[in-house]
Amino acid sequence: MVNTEVVLSGITLTNPVIPASGTFGFGAEFAQLYDINILGSLSFKGTTVEERFGNPTPRIAECSSGMINSVGLQNPGLKAVCEHELPKLATLYKKPVIANISGFSIEEYVECAKAMERQESVGIIEVNVSCPNVHGGGMSFGVDAKAAAEVTRAVKAVSKKPVYIKLSPNVTDIVSIALACEDAGADGLSLINTLYAMRIDLKTKKPVLANKMGGLSGPAVFPVALRMVYQVFEAVKIPIIGMGGVAAAEDVIEMMLAGASAVQIGAANLKNPVACKEIIEDLSRVMEKYRISSLSEIIGGAH
């Protein structure tokens, strides 16, 4: 009998499989297809203070082994999420969830964090630092170690719940940013977010996306994500949630060997809405095939 349990900052998950923010909504649509309580946890739709319609369409572009999105953080806003979406989710999912928050200033991150701190169903606050800093010339918080640390400190100051910083891969040295977040008090890290990418329509000879560029996700980014998780694990002492192109139980094992304590599934949910269910159901078989008795014992095993 294999043991699929893992622990994130004192929270025990029955398995390491977590739908990634932005690919699972608030769970309601997926709950119509299967019992989502089989999930280790779930990271719900990225939430901002104000309601956001998102970027203009088209905002999805296909590519081989992946997809590019420029959705633009579409969400109903902090008040609606706390008053409507989370109570509804609590009727469908009985385990602690991960609250993914975004902001365009330090003040907005703090406001979101304060609200999520009060939500009983929220176990972990996941901070997306890939947003442009409107007070810092538009540069994303996550591409600058000092700015990422500033966000981390501000959110930690208002939250007793574990705070995980979701790192951007669009940097030259992800390790220095991971270390800055750890030094600023982060309880854990999530990596990676999407890679900056684009497509051009040969018929129109114009960019496919209305926003011209967006974030690449799917199997194409898996080797990059794996490399970054491996590098960051070597440098930090806090847990890592690995993500980026994970689409099978074998990918989950590989990501954990690189150093992830849990794994998020993103683009695979958009291609196959029961992807997480199938991965969870296949985990035991893959563990037995590779003679793994306990997932918690293989974290960082490739080092």
Angle at 223 between CA 217 and CA 229, to 5 degrees: 95
List, in sequence order, every beta strand (DSSP E) within 131-226: 163-166, 188-191, 195-197, 200-201, 206-207, 214-217
Q: Which residue has the tokens 């719940």?
A: 161
Strand 122-128 with 97-101, pairing:
parallel
Active site residue 131: yes
* Residues in CB range of 280: below 8 A, 6 or more apart: 4, 15, 17, 38, 39
Q: How many CB atoms lie within 10 A of CB 62?
A: 10
Residue 291 region by backbone torsions, left for phi larger than 0, else alpha for psi between -120 and 50, else beta: left
Q: How many CB atoms lie within 10 A of CB 265?
A: 27
Q: Which residues pair with 188 in a beta bridge?
A: 164
* Residues in CB range of 41: below 8 A, 6 or more apart: 8, 11, 13, 18, 95, 96, 97, 98, 123, 124, 262
* Residues in CB range of 83: below 8 A, 6 or more apart: none
Q: How many CB atoms lie within 10 A of CB 290?
A: 11
Structure token digits, residue 147: 């700015």
Catalytic option among 63, 82, 112, 131? 131
Burial of 202 from C-beta contacts in 10 A (0-12 / 13-18 / 19+):
exposed
Provide the annotated active-site residues.
131
